Amino acid sequence: MPKKAACLEGAWIDDILLEGDADRTALHLGRPVTLEELRLLVADEQERLRAAGLVGGGTLAVRMPPSLACVVAMLAGWRTGAQVALLDHRLTTYEVGKAIARLTPQLVVEPVEEVTGRLRGFFDVTTRITPLHGGRPAASPDALLQLSSGSTGPSKVIGRPVGSLLAELDRYAQLDGFPRRGERAVVLASVVHVLGLVGGLLHGLASGAEVVLPGTQTVDGILRAVAAGDEPTTLLGVPSQTALLAAHRNPPHLPQLRRMIVGGELVAADVRERFTRRYGAGLGVMYGMTEAGVIATDLTGSTVPGLTPAPGMKVRVEDGQILLGLPRTPYVGPADPTRFVDGWLRTKDAGSFDAAGLLTVHGRLDAQVSIGGLKVDLAEVEEVLTSLPGVTDAVVVRGSGIEAFVTTTGQDVRAGLAALLAARLAPYKRPRVLHALPEIPRTVTGKPVRNADVLRAAVRTAACTAGSGAAPGGDPAHLDPDTALA
């Protein structure tokens, strides 16, 4: 369990994350990086940041692809006692400009040259440190600033003090099934977002587990990363990566693969069955938020959909909504005042506890809509769609009525969806329109986008790309008029 070290001036970096045997392999990014090498790199980067003007209480933005340089920059910023804002390298120049304007960092660390390669697992980059005009010192006690995923609306600025990060590391340390010293964690989730950052990178450093980033995020790249070591290995990622791996019909024998742990959304039952059968490994799930980190888990897959609240996490359900007990609001700057009241964060997730104390997450509350006066759970419609043969992905939103955006294995599948849905959903629950897409748009954290305007724009783009004036596979399918009850 991480030690409760002093948190001032970055002492927690040395006492918790960089403590241990010097020759232990801490990271593996194409080559092993020992703890001693990581210490030296962090110290050198800290001197570069100080020379550029960073001091304790200062502010630093790290806009980096997954890389050794990214890890070193964030650790060096924290070791200086600065507030570090993490920006995903996949953001557009426009999005980065908006984020910088909101966060007002004094310095930004970024690659000298822009990187490309959507499926790269890590990069080898040279960085530059740029002072920013108008940057301000930290206005809050938070060590970490992150932007929410923005899957359903504008991103929020979320702050976490050192105490919050240490409390989450304590929760991970008490979870039976997370990687430990002598084991490996192959991290597929982004290390600048909460799952990959805390559950992958920081927990690995604190626990002594070797943190591995695969060379590529392809099936072959992931499996090569698993096969590269004999130690018990855990994959940490998101459900879309599980689906990718489960689609491999003849994977190699990997006895060291103990389990995969995913967060972000539910795993379809057929995907779970294929993954566990083909790899002979467990599939665990986690529920968490950027605002608080890990909240509840089932790391064995034995109680799904029921999850056990993580040790020390205060969770309750009120009027069908999951609430989290936190010592302070996680939001920095303007925020909805109703989200955090009297020490409780309203998650906007629907949930329930069973008699055994297990938490079931039913999806977003804003996924429960009224159609003609009747309640419809869009998550239920999504689940039915993804269970249909030939449907590989689906997102359901409320527009003029219920709209579904699907990816399928072919035109013949799309032609038969209306009939299949008619047998499985009441008329008022059925999508009014089905849009075909080559792939579902996702946020930088891998979550499916649920903004109807963005999804419709993706349909138009796909139609233009196809060059026929229609989305691949034909025009959107308008279903039974009985569904037009809105």
Range of the domain at 343: 8-360
d(CA 108, CA 60): 6
Please tell me whether residues 400 and 355 are part of one structural domain.
no
Q: What is residue 448's three-state secondary structure?
A: strand
366 located within any domain:
no
Please, which residues have CB within 8 angstroms of residue 423's CB and are 6 or more apart in sequence? Answer: none
pLDDT of residue 4: 36
252 located within any domain:
yes
Please, which residues have CB within 8 angstroms of residue 133's CB and are 6 or more apart in sequence? Answer: none
Sign of CA dihedral 460, 462, 466, 470: negative
Please tell me whether residues 313 and 380 are part of one structural domain.
no
d(CA 136, CA 103): 9
14 located within any domain:
yes
Question: Which ranges of 52-85 does DSSP label H, i.e. alpha helix?
Answer: 68-80
- 379 HSE (CA, 13 A, CB side): 15
Please tell me whether residues 226 and 123 are part of one structural domain.
yes
Residues of the chain above pLDDT 90, percent: 61
Q: pLDDT tens digits, residue range 43-102? A: 999 999 999 999 999 999 999 999 999 999 999 999 999 999 999 888 878 888 888 999
Average pLDDT, the chain: 88
Please tell me whether residues 263 and 119 are part of one structural domain.
yes
354-387 burial by CB neighbour count: b if 16+ within 10 A, else e? Answer: eeeebbbbbbbbebbbebeeeebbbbbbbbbbbe
Residues of the chain above pLDDT 70, percent: 91
d(CA 471, CA 464): 8
Q: pLDDT tens digits, residue range 160-188? A: 999 999 999 999 999 999 999 999 999 99
**Contact criterion met (CB below 8 Å) for 355 and 306:** no
pLDDT band for position 475 (cuts 50, 70, 90): very low
Lowest mean pLDDT among 103-112, 275-284, 317-326, 418-427: 418-427
Please tell me whether residues 419 and 308 are part of one structural domain.
no
2 located within any domain:
no
Place of tokens 């986690």: 286
pLDDT band for position 414 (cuts 50, 70, 90): confident
d(CA 108, CA 74): 11
Please check the confidence at residue 477 and state whether its pLDDT lies above 80.
Answer: no
Which amino acid would we find at residue 217?
Q
Please tell me whether residues 107 and 180 are part of one structural domain.
yes
Please tell me whether residues 259 and 313 are part of one structural domain.
yes
**Contact criterion met (CB below 8 Å) for 385 and 396:** yes
pLDDT band for position 388 (cuts 50, 70, 90): confident
Fill in the DSSP letter of residue 427. Answer: G
Lowest mean pLDDT among 147-151, 165-169, 399-403: 147-151
Single residue among 304, 339, 360 that ends a domain in this structure: 360
Nearest to 479 by CA among 410, 396, 374, 409: 396
Instruction: Spell out where 303-373 has E strands.
Output: 306-309, 314-318, 321-325, 340-341, 344-353, 359-364, 368-371
Q: What is residue 446's three-state secondary structure?
A: coil
Please tell me whether residues 208 and 335 are part of one structural domain.
yes
Please check the confidence at residue 312 and state whether its pLDDT lies above 90.
Answer: yes
Average pLDDT over residues 189-194: 91
Fill in the DSSP letter of residue 318. Answer: E
pTM of the model: 0.81
Average pLDDT over residues 243-272: 90
| Integer angstrom CA distances of residue 363 from 345, 367, 368, 440 | 16, 7, 9, 18
Nearest to 78 by CA among 16, 23, 22: 16
d(CA 377, CA 363): 9
Radius of gyration of the chain (CA): 23
Please tell me whether residues 341 and 398 are part of one structural domain.
no
Please tell me whether residues 79 and 127 are part of one structural domain.
yes
Number of helices (H), then strands (E), belonging to the chain: the values are 14, 26
214 located within any domain:
yes
Q: pLDDT tens digits, residue range 17-39? A: 999 999 999 999 999 999 999 99
Question: Cβ of 316: how many Cβ atoms within 10 Å?
Answer: 14
pLDDT of residue 481: 31
**Contact criterion met (CB below 8 Å) for 434 and 406:** yes
pLDDT band for position 149 (cuts 50, 70, 90): low
Please tell me whether residues 274 and 296 are part of one structural domain.
yes
Lowest mean pLDDT among 101-110, 130-139, 298-307, 438-447: 438-447
What phi and psi values does residue 274 have, to the nearest 5 degrees?
A: -65, -40
Lowest mean pLDDT among 277-286, 352-361, 474-483: 474-483
Domain count, the chain: 2
Please check the confidence at residue 445 and state whether its pLDDT lies above 70.
Answer: no
Q: Which helix (H) or strand (E) holds 206?
A: helix 203-207
Please tell me whether residues 285 and 195 are part of one structural domain.
yes
- 11 HSE (CA, 13 A, CB side): 8
List, as one string, the DSSP characters of 399-424: SSSEEEEEEES-HHHHHTHHHHHHHH
pLDDT band for position 485 (cuts 50, 70, 90): very low
Nearest to 256 by CA among 210, 296, 196, 216: 210
Helix axes 35-51, 68-80, angle to 10 degrees: 60
Please check the confidence at residue 3 and state whether its pLDDT lies above 60.
Answer: no
d(CA 96, CA 61): 10
User: 305: domain CATH number?
Assistant: 3.40.50.12780
pLDDT band for position 310 (cuts 50, 70, 90): very high
d(CA 269, CA 235): 19
Please check the confidence at residue 386 and state whether its pLDDT lies above 90.
Answer: no
Nearest to 88 by CA among 113, 61, 106: 61
Fill in the DSSP letter of residue 143. Answer: S
263-297 burial by CB neighbour count: b if 16+ within 10 A, else e? Answer: bbbbbbeebbebbbeebebbbbbbbbbbbbbbbbb
pLDDT of residue 389: 87
Q: What is residue 157's three-state secondary structure?
A: strand
